Amino acid sequence: MGKFVNNTEEFFKYCEENEVKFVDLRFTDMKGMWHHLTYMLSAVNEDNLTNGMPFDGSSVDAWQPINKSDMLLKPDVETAFLDPFTADSTIILFCDVYDIYKGELYEKCPRSIAKKALKHLSDSGLGDAAYFGPENEFFVFDDVKIKDEINESHYRVDSDEGCWSDDEEYETGNMAHRPRTKGGYFPVQPTDSMVDLRAEMMQILEQVGLTVVLGHHEVAQAQGEIGIVFGDLIEAADNVQKYKYVCKMVAHLNGKTCTFMPKPLYGDNGNGMHVHQSIWKDGRNLFYKEGEYANLSEMARHYIGGIFKHARAVAAFTNASTNSYKRLIPGFEAPSILTYSSQNRSASCRIPYGAGEKATRIEMRFPDSTACPYLAFAAMMMAGLDGIKNKYEPIGPMDDDLFELPLDEIRERKIPQMPHTLRGSLEALIRDNDFLQPVFSKDMIDTYQHYKFETQVWPDEARPTAFEFKSTFSC
């Protein structure tokens, strides 16, 4: 699909043609959350589009202090698209954050960090393009209840597709066609109840500029996925933000709720964000070498080795919540063993089947959608480039079902694993972050890990759970 406008002149012409009344400026924080503020079109001109729009940086978590709060949003007019959900015609622009005090792109703005990562790639001479293809899975529930108090804590998610609904009373009767636990991969209607909902998502995703390939029910109950064509690092991360926005809004307008939470259901598959990656130069895929294992070049192998070498630190960005690590357990297509393999979904890095140079790529399978996509993609690329520089060799290939590999054998063969908790990944980031610099500043890394400890790790570790009552109350 691609761009709707290419420059400022086309932007205003496009606004006129579509009777645009509002311009919605969007930027991303370190959590990956999208924020926005809306201008009247009459207040927007070429000057402020070029020089930036002011906003309060101190009101965004872990950004500026109140005494240095003034910042600028610098819109990228080439990202313009019409909001499909507003009552009045509104055009959305992705923005970078500009630091007026240092006179440069803000060091804590994820999209700006991703741009610096691409420049680092170009300056290194190793490549001139980095392509990323994320696969974001999601759940659609009918009802969600949450309570988190000093003396009680519980949640309940509900879906007509859930096996727990077998004995529910419905006005129209209980039809009993359900995917069952781990039974949701590709059933037709009526077992797949989300066909029309996904179709609506797919059409609106095309409407906002993404190229959609397919949509299908995923393995878990109430779980789905929509396949999007890959893009360069920035475009791919932008597309994740569009994708999540559209899926959540379509579900919401249909009286349902969509979540990208990694593990909302105990005992069923979770939501991943598998990320396909390749480095190119002068129009040539540098990850391709005909005749090698899975046609994978030495450069690609070393790129994998770099990600695995720094995986525990990278996980702080790719698996950015405490819930992330409840997904990274054997048996649920969420691999945590750091090896690579051709077509093997139990390996942390899979080499997908593909004929020829253009299709050869790697697929990292451990990330999830609690990641800020700009930070996750940039961190993986920086680790990969460090692997190329230092010629790190990954363990593998291993073509066995790694989910069946006993823990003793994993330890005996010294096969590295992903961290088991967010605390573990953040502590690894504190020890191992040189590979991220100068793209990720020391201040940004320090702020990020402190913020994650304060908002995720410590609150989670302080709370008793229902399982703890079940297992320890009578001790």
Binding site for Mg(2+): what residues are annotated? Answer: 135, 137, 218, 225, 274, 363
* Cis bond upstream, residue 187 (ω within 30): no
- Is 312 annotated as catalytic? no
Cross-strand bridge partners of residue 395: none
* Active-site option among 83, 99, 137, 368: 137
Residues annotated within the binding site for L-glutamate are 269-270, 327, 333, 345, 365
Cα(37)–Cα(25) distance, integer angstroms = 5
- Is 225 annotated as catalytic? yes
- Is 78 annotated as catalytic? no
* Active-site option among 225, 235, 268, 368: 225
Measured from the Cβ of residue 407, the count of other Cβ atoms closer than 10 Å reads: 9
* Active-site option among 111, 198, 274, 361: 274
Instruction: Find, among 209, 312, 320, the residue nearest to 260 by Cα.
Output: 320
- Is 284 annotated as catalytic? no
* Active-site option among 96, 363, 368, 386: 363
- Is 152 annotated as catalytic? no
- Is 10 annotated as catalytic? no
Instruction: Find, among 368, 379, 296, the residue nearest to 333 by Cα.
Output: 368
DSSP 400: S
Cross-strand bridge partners of residue 39: 23
* Active-site option among 111, 178, 302, 365: 365
Element (H, E) at 36: strand 34-40
* Active-site option among 135, 160, 268, 368: 135
- Is 137 annotated as catalytic? yes
Question: By the 8 A CB rule, do 296 and 156 touch?
Answer: no
Cα(332)–Cα(312) distance, integer angstroms = 20
Measured from the Cβ of residue 172, the count of other Cβ atoms closer than 10 Å reads: 5
Cross-strand bridge partners of residue 95: 75
* Active-site option among 56, 292, 454, 461: 56
Phi, psi for 99 (deg, rounded to 5): -90, 110
Residues annotated within the binding site are 135, 137, 218, 225, 269-270, 274, 276-278, 327, 333, 345, 358, 363, 365
- Is 26 annotated as catalytic? no
- Is 368 annotated as catalytic? no
* Active-site option among 218, 268, 368, 427: 218
Residues annotated within the binding site for ATP are 276-278, 345, 358
User: Annotated catalytic sites, by residue?
Assistant: 56, 135, 137, 218, 225, 274, 345, 363, 365
